[in-house]
Chains A and B, each alone.
Chain A
Amino acid sequence: MRTDRRSLIAAMIRLARRPGLWLMVLLIAVIFLMPAAGPLMRWLFPGVPRPVYTRASFFELTLAHAELVAISSLAAAVIGIGFGIFVTRESGREFAPMAGAIAATGQTFPPVAVLALTIPVLGYGAAPAIAALCLYAIFPIIAATITGIESVPAPTRDAAMGMGFAPRDILWRIELPLAFPFILAGLRNAVIINIGTAAIGSAAGALSLGSPIIEGLSASNPAYVLEGAVIVALLAVAADRCFAWLEDLSRHGGLEQPG
C-alpha cells in the first residue's frame, strides 16, 4: 500500500515535470480568460475602440484551428507513412530515389507558397487550407518514414529473415517499431509547421486562430493581433512539448541509457 502510494506520487511528480502538461493548462486558461482581457488590452493599446475579438469565441477558433491541423496531419500521416513503406518494399524500391527527391524538393517549398498555390485550384475556405497543409506535411513524413525504416540495422533484418519472420512480420514487429521515433519526429515537424500555416490560412477565409490576427492587421487593431498571436504561439509550443513527451515515452529502455 505504502509503496503504491509512493510510486503514485513519483508518477505524479514525473508528470508535473512535463512542460507539455503545464503549457496545455496555460493554453486552456488563456483561451477562457481572454474575453476578460479587455482592461489589459485597453491599457496596452489606449487608442483601440474594441479591445477584445468577439466575432467568434477563442475556444471556437482554437477548435477550428486544431481541426484544420488534425485533419490535414492525419491524412498526411496516412499517405506519407504508406508511401514511405511502399518505397522501402521490394516492389516499390524502384521509386525510392524519386520519393527521396520529391520529399527533399517538397520540403524546400515554402508552406505559404503551397497554400497560395492551392487557392486557385480549390478556392477559398477550409478546403484549400486543409489540402495545402496536408500536401506540405506529406514531405517530411515520407522523408522520416524512409529514414526510419532504413535505419534498421542490416543484421537485425537479416536475423529476422533467417529466423523465419515473414515480410509482414518484419514490417510490423521490427521495422515500424524501430522507425517509430523517426516518424514521430517527422510528424512533429509537420504539425508545428501546420499550426503556423493554418493561421495564415485564415487569410483565405478558413476560420482559425489566424482570423483575429488577419483582421487586426487589416483593421489596424493590434489588440486582436496580440490575442490571436499569443494563443497560436502557445498552441504551437504546447503541441511541440507534447510531441517531445511522446518521443520520450516511445524511446525504448535499451536506447535510453548508454552502454
Chain B
Amino acid sequence: MIELRNVSKSFGATPAVADFSLKIENGAFFVLAGPSGCGKSTVLRMINAMIVPGKGQIEVDGQDIRAMEPEKLRRSIGYVIQSAGLFPHWTAADNVLAVPRLLKWSPSRCAARLDALVALLRIDPALLDRYPRQLSGGQQQRIGVARALAADPDIVLMDEPFAALDPVSRAELQDELRGIHARSGKTIVFVTHDMDEALRLATGMAVMNGGRLIQTGSPASILLAPVDDFVRDFLGGESLQLRLLDLVPVEKLMKPGKTKATETIAAGASLKNALNLMLARRRSFLGVEDASGKRLGEIHLNDIVARRDAN
C-alpha cells in the first residue's frame, strides 16, 4: 500500500502540490490524471523519493520513505518514463538487466529473468542485441517496461509512458500492460493526461488540478458523478455520456432469450460499440453472442437510451 498524507511541494515560489492525501491499495492499477502542469508527475516522483516533499509524509508498505535509503527504495520500485530513457550505449538486453545487475544478481539468474521478461512482454529476441537507436518507439518502450519489471518489483511507477507513441503501438502496449497487471497483481501507479487511456486502464483513479486532488474513485463513479465542472470538462464535457457507454459491457443490458436479429455483437463489447454498430447498420436491436458464437439474447436501442445506471 502507498499512502500520502498532507503532502505539499513547491518549486521556488510556485506550489506544485498542495496538501495532497491519497491511499493506493495493493494490486491497484491507479491512474493519476489531470491536465499538464497539475502536479501529477510530481506526486509520482515523490513516491520513489526522486522529489522530496516539503511537507507531509509518504509511506510505502507502512514504512516512511524518509527512513529508507533512496537508492534502495528506487531499486525496489519499477520506473518508466515517457521517452523510455533507455541508456543509449547499452544493448536492449543490458538495459533490461540494469537493476538486477545493480542488485548484483548472478549471471545465470539474470539470464533466466531475461528469458522470462522476453516471454512476458512478447519481445522479439532478435531485438535484444540492438542498441536503443536501432529500435522503434514502440519497441523502445516495450524494453523500458521490461526494464521496470526486471527485478520483479511490487510497485511500478509510470510517467506518461505511452504518450509519445503512435496509436497502434500505444493500444498494443496498453493491452499488454493491462494483461500483466491482471496476472501479476502488482501495484501500478500511472500518470496520464489522456482520459481515454485513463478509463481504459484504471481500476482506481484520481483527478488532479493545480496541485490539488479534485476527485478520487473508480473510473465509473467519477464518470457518473463528476464533483465539479472542471472534472466534467476534463472527462470530455459533451461526450461524457458516450464515455460512460464505453465502460459498460453489452451483457449488462442484454435481454436473454431467442433472437431473430441478423446483426450480432459480442457479449463483452461495450455499449458504445453496440450503439456504433446499430447506427452503422441502421438497426434498432442487435443479437448478442458469446465468444464461441452461441446466441445469448438481444440488446435494444431503447434500453441503452433509457438506461438509468450502468452499474
Contact = CB atoms under 8 A, between A and B. Distances in A.
Q: Do A and B bind each other?
A: yes
Contacts of A159: 79, 81, 84-87, 144
B55 interface: no
B109 interface: no
Given A156-B85, A156-B87, A254-B89, A164 B131 contact: no
B58 interface: no
Interface string A219-259: 00000000000000000000000000000000011110111
Contacts of B74: 161-164
B86 A156 contact: yes
Contacts of A178: 88-89
A163 B99 CA distance: 7
Contacts of B72: 164
A160 interface: yes
Interface string B78-112: 01011111111101000000110010000000000
B88 A156 contact: yes
B147 A163 contact: yes
Interface residues of B, number: 33
Contacts of B228: none
B122 interface: no
B192 interface: no
Contacts of B148: 163
Interface string A151-179: 00101101111111110010000100110
A147 to B, nearest CB: 16
Instruction: Bin the interface of chain A by size.
Output: 20 to 34
Contacts of A166: 71
Interface in B44-100: 45, 48, 50, 70-76, 79, 81-89, 91, 98-99
B90 to A, nearest CB: 8
A68 B75 CA distance: 48
A174 B99 contact: no
A178 B88 CA distance: 8
Interface in B2-37: none
A254 B127 CA distance: 12
Of B86, B87, B132, B148, most A-chain CB atoms within 10 Å: B87
Interface string B115-158: 00000000000000011111000000000100110000000010
Contacts of B91: 253-254
A253 B85 CA distance: 18
Contacts of A158: 50, 81, 85
Given A163-B74, A164-B99, 11 more contacts: A153-B85, A155-B83, A158-B85, A160-B98, A164-B73, A169-B102, A252-B89, A255-B131, A255-B133, A258-B133, A259-B133
Interface of B: 45, 48, 50, 70-76, 79, 81-89, 91, 98-99, 102, 130-134, 144, 147-148, 157
8 contacts: A155-B81, A164-B73, A164-B74, A165-B98, A177-B89, A253-B91, A254-B89, A259-B134
